[in-house]
Amino acid sequence: METVVIDATGIPTKELNERLRAFMLNGAERFVLKNICGQRYIGTRLFSKNGTKRKLDIDITGTPGSDLGAFMSGHHVRVHGNVQDGVGNTMDDGEIIVEGRAGDVLGMSMRGGKIFIRDNTGYRTALHMKEYLDKKPVLVIGGTSQDFLGEYMAGGIVIILGLGDKPHTQTFIGTGMHGGVIYIRGKVDKLQVAGQVEISEPKVEDREVLDKFVGEFVDHFPDLGLSKEGILKGEFIRLAPKSKRPYAKIYA
């Protein structure tokens, strides 16, 4: 399998993504991008109508710019470093693994695929994430997030592991949530969670989900030196919407 190596120093966003696309159309399946610094929409321009659903493998060193993997369908991206805002924006399928932290609106309107963030994320994580039948996006965060986690969430699975020193202090969790589920490992006060959300203990089906994705998280970040069992021993809570129509009563 041919690996394409690109030193992205000084290459603007559009040109970089053009090059990636050209290589893809020529049959490349593996990319190593070095010295990435602020280039946006990496992974977005890699949809080919007549190509087969080839999954590309993209390895990034540096700090990608906003909207990494936006509208992405099916590729695998690994970043050695932090990422910025809009990661996985309306992502349809694929996988993004980040050895660091993410910014705001992570996984916004995500519809499929998986994202693993080793450290913390910012505001409005998983905003309006969606699912349909068995197409369910998954988001696993090793640290914690900031306010408005899961705002308008309509589907999908979000797992916050709270592995760092920072406690869960975010507020407005699940405001407007009407689908999907959020699992949080650690302490969260009722007042941090919106009124439409029900807090409960994970059941057997939930434990299976946690087992699967925490396992994948641990495999993706071996340097953390953590074990799946160790993480699963912690106390998890389950957050889900009380109703599919949280605002039915306020209109006359």
Query: Site residues (CB under 8 A) for other proteins?
Result: 13, 37-38, 40, 62-66, 81-82, 84-85, 100-101, 103-104, 119-120, 122-123, 142-143, 146-148, 151-152, 163-166, 169, 171-172, 175-176, 191, 194, 247, 250, 252
Q: Which two tokens stand for residue 226?
A: 């953590």
Nearer to other proteins, 69 or 74 (CB): 69
In the bound complex, what is the minimum distance in angstroms from residue 166's beta carbon to other proteins? 6
Q: What's the rounded Cα separation, in Å, for the pair 75 and 145?
A: 25
Nearer to other proteins, 91 or 194 (CB): 194
In the bound complex, what is the minimum distance in angstroms from residue 244's beta carbon to other proteins? 15
In the bound complex, what is the minimum distance in angstroms from residue 106's beta carbon to other proteins? 12
Phi, psi of 155 (to 5 degrees): 175, 175
Nearer to other proteins, 94 or 142 (CB): 142
Q: List 75's β-bridge partners, or say none.
A: 94
Q: Classify 16 as helix, strand or coil.
A: helix
Q: What's the rounded Cα separation, in Å, for the pair 235 and 252?
A: 42
In the bound complex, what is the minimum distance in angstroms from residue 239's beta carbon to other proteins? 15
Q: Which of 81, 179, 79 is nearest to 137 (CA)?
A: 179
Q: List 77's β-bridge partners, or say none.
A: 58, 96
